[in-house]
Structure 1
Amino acid sequence: MSSIAGIGTDITYVSRIQAAYERRPERFVQRILGPEEQVVFARRVERDPRRGMRYLATRFAAKEAFSKAVGLGMRMPMAWSRMQVLNAPSGKPTVVLAEPLAHWYNQRFGAAHVSLTDESDLVMAFVIVESQT
């Protein structure tokens, strides 16, 4: 039986993310999103800019919540683009980590669970990380 090793949550205004994005769009996206997330963002923002901004904001919030759950904050080996939230075929958001964060995480924790929600100008992310079994 696994137990909870950490919990993190974050609430973010979409308008705050949009303002940061508008200052330096490419740089902001590359800094915050991982490679697969960037592809999804580009499709969404092209189809509907508001939907794209909500996607960017939910991913930002998820990364903040994850960094809190693992107790790192935004310091090495944690980096925005090393933690991605990608959707499984069912639509369930899943945590995907890149090196060196993946190695650091796998030595300390078990599964990570993430829940995202958005409502007009607010988004929220909730992350639970399990202890190693």
Structure 2
Amino acid sequence: MIHGIGTDICDVRRIQATFERQGERFAHKVLSDAEFAVWQKRSARWPQRGVRFLATRFSAKEAFSKAIGLGMRMPMTWRHCEITNLPSGQPVIVLHGELKTWFEAQGLRAHVTVTDETDYAASFVVVERD
């Protein structure tokens, strides 16, 4: 049974502007430690690719927060929600801390997809109840 659906579209230029103002502090706020390591590698090779990575993660976490019905309030936090990829490339949501505990207690399961183009990143999340 579907518990919730969330979608988000993010202007990559807005993420770029925020990053230019706040620097790595913004990336640390939004990304988990594992995501931050990926972001650093991508940014080192091609800075714009790093910005798009940051935008897709921002978008996916916003969509997830909408799908679970909490928005950005506890136990939902940027860093407790991680978007990673399976070896096939499929994006998946990995939760940590209080958010993971809450999510599992609700009997929920999430599916995510992300995409980006030059100026926009978009995400769609479906959360099911077991």
Amino acid at match of 1:18: Q
Selected match of 1:13 from 11, 14, 25: 11
State the match for 2:103 in structure 1: 105
State the match for 1:22 in structure 2: 20
State the match for 1:114 in structure 2: 112
State the match for 1:38 in structure 2: 36
Secondary structure of the 1:80 match is coil
Cα distance between partner residues in 2 of 1:14 and 1:4: 30
8 A contact 1:32–1:80 mirrored in 2: yes
State the match for 1:77 in structure 2: 75
8 A contact 1:4–1:128 mirrored in 2: yes
RMSD value, Cα: 0.7
Runs of 4+ aligned structure 1 residues displaced above 6 Å come to none
Selected match of 2:61 from 60, 63, 66: 63
State the match for 1:123 in structure 2: 121
Secondary structure of the 1:84 match is strand
Q: TM-score, structure 1 length as denominator?
A: 0.95
Matches within 5 A, 1:42-57: 42-57=40-55
For structure 1, the 5+ residue unaligned runs are: none
Number of aligned residues:
130
Q: TM-score, structure 2 length as denominator?
A: 0.97
The 10-residue stretch of structure 1 (70-79 or 19-28) with the greater mean CA deviation from structure 2: 19-28
For structure 2, the 5+ residue unaligned runs are: none
How many angstroms does 1:65 deviate by? 0.1
Amino acid at match of 2:73: R
How many angstroms does 1:109 deviate by? 3.5
Identity %: 52
